[in-house]
């Protein structure tokens, strides 16, 4: 194909690539010429145990198809080791796809601190550690592409997933600021909220839906985000089952009250339609735009 988007010469880390979405991302990148570190701890979907078989089998698949890959079995909590593996095997690092994940679903009144903490450690601290270790290499070479893996559960909430929702939306905030800090050095950071059949979803969705939500349907968007031709930065994308769409914040028209006198609860009640209605919405895209009405009100004075 003449316009094939390729990754020749690029080195990618895909965490949690021993199965599900990570495996699909790794296979796609490797099929387009990337050298891939296939990281996977190989534990259970609830975070227990470890096993090298998952990462090994994906490396075998990639090699059998003529690609280049190496396995790494560290937890993402040991992010520095994963980045070191990329440097040891392939001498550089260009792409990080933070994908590893587990679930500890339980309604909040039964949630233990361990359920909360383990989810935080794998999703948030793990993504931090891998990204933090890769960051100086990406900055110094003036090139990098990073993807965080969020979830609709974080964006919209989902029963029984308070811990997971916290972690997944935390990654969006993390990516928003990394996108600002990395931009000048051509290190671009985006986030996906995928939907796919995998061991994480097979217990909650019917089999016929799972069969039609192939992880392979998610990977092309993820791969585009980590390609050098993609200049999107700080974006959040819903992707799954053949649907692909970017999300953004929407803000109600809002109400502005003149400064210089105490505001009352009754004033808020009276203006509730403007404060909470989206008929005249705007879409602030950064902190400066977000602060605009406040600054205008400060300038207007009391
Ligand atoms: P999966 O269980 O098939 O894959 C996750 C992989 O991460 C597993 O192979 C697992 O061994 C690995 N892993 C777990 N803990 C690890 C650790 N500490 N270090 C290294 N590897 C570890 O599930 P999946 O559905 O492919 O999930 C991939 C990512 O997508 C996760 O972050 C998940 O939260 C997210 N996600 C998935 C869906 C979906 O519909 N499948 C929806 C929203 C978000």
The interface pTM score, or ipTM, of the predicted complex is: 0.99
Of ligand 1's atoms, which has the minimum distance to the CA of residue 47? 15
- State the pLDDT at residue 204: 82
- State the pLDDT at residue 178: 98
How much distance in Å is there from the Cα of 171 to the middle of ligand 1?
14
Of ligand 1's atoms, which has the minimum distance to the CA of residue 103? 34
Mean pLDDT of 214-243: 98
228 — pLDDT class (breaks 50, 70, 90) = very high
| Cβ pair 99, 16 in contact under 8 A | yes
Is the predicted pLDDT of residue 273 greater than 70, yes or no?
yes
Mean pLDDT of 228-243: 98
- State the pLDDT at residue 2: 60
Of ligand 1's atoms, which has the minimum distance to the CA of residue 100? 7
CA angle (205 as vertex; 203, 206 as ends), nearest 5: 105
Give the model confidence (pLDDT) of 142-155 as tens digits. Answer: 999 999 999 999 99
Give the model confidence (pLDDT) of 113-136 as tens digits. Answer: 999 999 999 999 999 999 999 999
Strand 95-98 relative to strand 144-149: parallel, antiparallel, unpaired?
parallel
- State the pLDDT at residue 1: 57
CA angle (271 as vertex; 295, 274 as ends), nearest 5: 70
Short-list 218, 108, 81, 231, CA closest to 163: 108
Mean pLDDT of 199-225: 93
241 — pLDDT class (breaks 50, 70, 90) = very high
**Residue whose CA is at the smallest distance from ligand 1 atom 18:** 75
Which H/E stretch holds residue 209? helix 207-212
Half-sphere exposure of 203 (CA within 13 A, CB side): 7
Helices and strands per DSSP (H, E), number in the chain: 12, 8
Ligand 1 lining (C-beta closer than 6 Å): 15-16, 18-22, 39-43, 45, 54, 75-77, 99-102, 122, 126, 149, 151, 194-196, 198-201
Query: Active-site residue numbers?
Result: 164
Short-list 74, 69, 76, 56, CA closest to 26: 69
The dihedral built from the CA positions of residue 186, 133, 62 and 242, taken in this order, carries a sign that is: negative
Q: What is the number of residues in the chain? A: 302
What sections of 231-286 are H helices per DSSP? 265-270, 272-276
Is the predicted pLDDT of residue 185 greater than 70, yes or no?
yes
- State the pLDDT at residue 203: 81
Of 217 and 203, more confident: 217
Of 211 and 64, more confident: 64
Mean pLDDT of 192-201: 95
Give the model confidence (pLDDT) of 13-47 as tens digits. Answer: 999 999 999 999 999 999 999 999 999 999 999 99
How much distance in Å is there from the Cα of 103 to the middle of ligand 1?
8
- State the pLDDT at residue 179: 98
Q: What is the pTM of this model?
A: 0.98
Is the predicted pLDDT of residue 223 greater than 70, yes or no?
yes
- Looking at residue 144, the DSSP 8-state letter turns out to be E
């Amino acid at each position: 194909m003449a316009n094939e988007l390729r990754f020749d010469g690029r080195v990618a880390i895909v965490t949690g690539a021993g199965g599900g979405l990570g495996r699909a991302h790794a296979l796609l990148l490797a099929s387009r010429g990337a050298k891939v570190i296939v990281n996977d701890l190989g534990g259970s979907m609830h975070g227990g145990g470890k096993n090298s078989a998952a990462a090994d089998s994906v490396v075998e698949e990639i090699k059998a198809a003529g690609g280049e890959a190496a396995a790494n079995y560290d937890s993402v909590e040991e992010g520095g080791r994963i980045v070191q593996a990329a440097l040891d095997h392939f001498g550089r690092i260009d792409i990080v796809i933070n994908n590893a994940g587990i679930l500890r679903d339980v309604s909040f009144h039964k949630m233990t601190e361990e359920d909360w903490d383990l989810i935080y450690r794998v999703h948030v601290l793990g993504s931090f550690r891998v990204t933090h270790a890769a960051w100086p290499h990406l900055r110094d070479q003036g090139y990098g592409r990073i993807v965080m893996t969020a979830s609709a559960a974080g964006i919209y909430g989902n029963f029984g997933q308070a811990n997971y929702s916290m972690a997944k939306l935390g990654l969006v905030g993390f990516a928003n600021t990394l996108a600002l800090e990395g931009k000048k050095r051509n290190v671009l950071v985006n986030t996906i909220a995928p939907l796919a059949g995998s061991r994480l979803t097979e217990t909650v969705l019917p089999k016929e839906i799972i069969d039609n939500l192939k992880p392979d349907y998610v990977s092309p968007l993820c791969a585009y985000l980590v390609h050098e031709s993609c200049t999107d930065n700080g974006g959040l994308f819903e992707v799954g089952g053949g649907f692909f769409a970017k999300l953004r914040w929407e803000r109600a028209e809002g109400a502005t009250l003149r400064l210089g006198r105490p505001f009352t609860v009754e004033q808020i009640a009276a203006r509730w339609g403007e404060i909470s209605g989206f008929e005249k919405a705007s879409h602030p895209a950064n902190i400066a735009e977000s602060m605009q009405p406040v600054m205008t009100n400060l300038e207007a004075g009391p």
